[in-house]
A and B are shown apart, each in its own frame.
Chain A
Amino acid sequence: DTGVSQDPRHKITKRGQNVTFRCDPISEHNRLYWYRQTLGQGPEFLTYFQNEAQLEKSRLLSDRFSAERPKGSFSTLEIQRTEQGDSAMYLCASSFGENEQYFGPGTRLTVT
């Protein structure tokens, strides 16, 4: 039984570059969530998908951020024109319907 996986685990990029992260949920889970976590804080919700439909977006998700889940399986989160304030851990979680959310190991982004 594989859990949620995320790739890459770490990413260092220069300000202004674009980055893309991938999340593979638990195989039978139809919901997929993205959260962001900064140092000393709990995770904060960004957006979520049910199958391929993006159902909710947080106001934290600026127009530089875009997420997709084209076939209802894996998802990608892209950040365009990265800023230093984007440095954080990006966490993906999945659930089957309204059941508990299980998190992946996260992608640590550092913008220099």
Chain B
Amino acid sequence: GQQLNQSPQSMFIQEGEDVSMNCTSSSIFNTWLWYKQDPGEGPVLLIALYKAGELTSNGRLTAQFGITRKDSFLNISASIPSDVGIYFCAGQLRGNTPLVFGKGTRLSVIA
């Protein structure tokens, strides 16, 4: 089946640093989404991308939909302790198909 590869698997950064993570797929998606999950909770939607090449921001978060439609990137600027968590990318082929998730990038922020 389809698989999404997220990298890095984990990162330790200092508070205030910028963070970059990415997600690649062996097949094309028409929608890319980024979620954040805290321990014991469900994923929370951060950003949704609908068009190849699209760049969208949500506060300190910026995500891009790769022009090949096989990848997406998430950047977090000026990290703060509450950014700690697991970030998941998800791809969707069409609006009526299931989301396919990556395995997540675990972010730790050192104050």
Closest to A97 in B: B95
Of B40, B42, B94, most A-chain CB atoms within 10 Å: B42
Q: Does A1 contact B (CB under 8 A)?
A: no
Q: Which residues from B are CB-within-8-Å of A35?
A: 99
A33–B98 CB distance below 8 A: yes
Q: Which residues from B are CB-within-8-Å of A99?
A: 95
What count of chain B residues pass the 8 Å CB interface test? 22
B99–A106 CB distance below 8 A: no
In the bound complex, what is the Cα–Cα distance between A45 and B35 (angstroms)? 15
* Selected contact of B42 from candidates A56, A98, A106, CB within 8 Å: A106
Of A6, A55, A102, most B-chain CB atoms within 10 Å: A102
A100–B43 CB distance below 8 A: no
Q: Which residues from B are CB-within-8-Å of A41?
A: 101, 103-104
A103–B48 CB distance below 8 A: no
In the bound complex, what is the Cα–Cα distance between A20 and B4 (angstroms)? 31
Contact (A108, B99) CB under 8 Å given A100-B45, A100-B48: no
* Selected contact of B43 from candidates A45, A58, A91, A98, CB within 8 Å: A91
A101–B99 CB distance below 8 A: yes
A103–B44 CB distance below 8 A: yes
A91–B98 CB distance below 8 A: no
In the bound complex, what is the Cα–Cα distance between A56 and B95 (angstroms)? 13
Q: Which residues from A are CB-within-8-Å of B94?
A: 98
A43–B103 CB distance below 8 A: no
In the bound complex, what is the Cα–Cα distance between A97 and B99 (angstroms)? 14
The 7 lowest CB-CB distance pairs between A and B, nearest first, are A98-B95, A42-B101, A45-B98, A103-B42, A106-B42, A103-B43, A105-B42
Known: A105-B40, A106-B41. 14 other contacts (CB 8 A): A6-B42, A33-B99, A41-B104, A42-B90, A42-B101, A43-B43, A44-B101, A56-B98, A98-B95, A100-B33, A100-B48, A101-B45, A105-B41, A108-B40
User: Which residues of B pack against A, CB within 8 Å?
Assistant: 4, 33, 35, 40-45, 48, 88, 90, 94-96, 98-104
User: Which residues of A pack against B, CB within 8 Å?
Assistant: 4, 6, 33, 35, 40-45, 48, 55-56, 58, 91, 93, 97-106, 108
